[in-house]
Chains A and B, each alone.
Chain A
């Protein structure tokens, strides 16, 4: 079955530093979504990427979808304490009503 891996599993950064998490799928995806889960909360949708090579920005967050539609990345510029949480990618395969498969997640902690 489809597997979605994320690296790193954990990342500790000084406030103001940049942060990147990488997502890799074992199969080609029709689209990829990103979610953020704050400590003690539930995952909340951030964005969906559909096109090969697509890049989308949300303020300090930049999301990329690979040309082969098998990998993606989330980059945060100049991290803030509000960025703390676990970031999950989630990919959907190409067949019909295929379910969304979540990645393993990257937990980001910020050192003030």
Chain B
């Protein structure tokens, strides 16, 4: 079956514009994570959805960042008023609760 997909694969935007990044998890996976990874750096946790529980938003770096997960499936990460320091690869991962995470290919965001 299909793995985790993310779109777009690349996004170039101008400083101050809003962007939306999409994640399609593996069907049936109850957990969904968003991470940010700058070049050569580790994984920075952003947000975690688990079933119908309230999401863990503790990793969101500012109120410009928000995410939602509709119907327990597709998730959208929105960054408002983008800044140059937002440039990074944004990775989405899904998993059955308590098991391994399956990562998508990521969206490379460049803010000019």
Contacts and interface: CB of A to CB of B under 8 A. Distances in A.
Interface residues on B, range: 20 to 34
A43 B103 contact: yes
Given A42-B91, A42-B106, A99 B100 contact: no
B45 A101 contact: yes
A65 to B, nearest CB: 16
A43 B48 CA distance: 17
Contacts of B20: none
Interface string B32-71: 0101000010110100101101001010000000000000
Interface string A79-112: 0000000101010100001011111110100000
A63 to B, nearest CB: 14
Interface in B62-112: 91, 93, 95, 97-106
Nearest to A31: B98
Contacts of A97: 31, 50-51, 53, 97
Nearest to A102: B43
Given A42-B91, A42-B106, A105 B43 contact: yes
13 contacts: A33-B101, A42-B103, A42-B106, A44-B103, A45-B100, A48-B99, A86-B42, A97-B97, A99-B31, A99-B48, A100-B101, A102-B35, A102-B42
Interface of B: 31, 33, 35, 40, 42-43, 45, 48, 50-51, 53, 56, 58, 91, 93, 95, 97-106
Given A99-B56, A102-B45, 15 more contacts: A33-B101, A35-B101, A42-B91, A43-B43, A43-B101, A48-B99, A90-B101, A97-B31, A97-B51, A99-B48, A99-B50, A102-B43, A103-B42, A104-B42, A107-B40
Q: Which 10 A-B pairs have the closest CB atoms?
A: A45-B100, A42-B103, A99-B48, A105-B42, A97-B50, A102-B43, A104-B42, A43-B103, A99-B56, A42-B106
Interface of A: 1, 31, 33, 35, 42-45, 48, 86, 88, 90, 92, 97, 99-105, 107
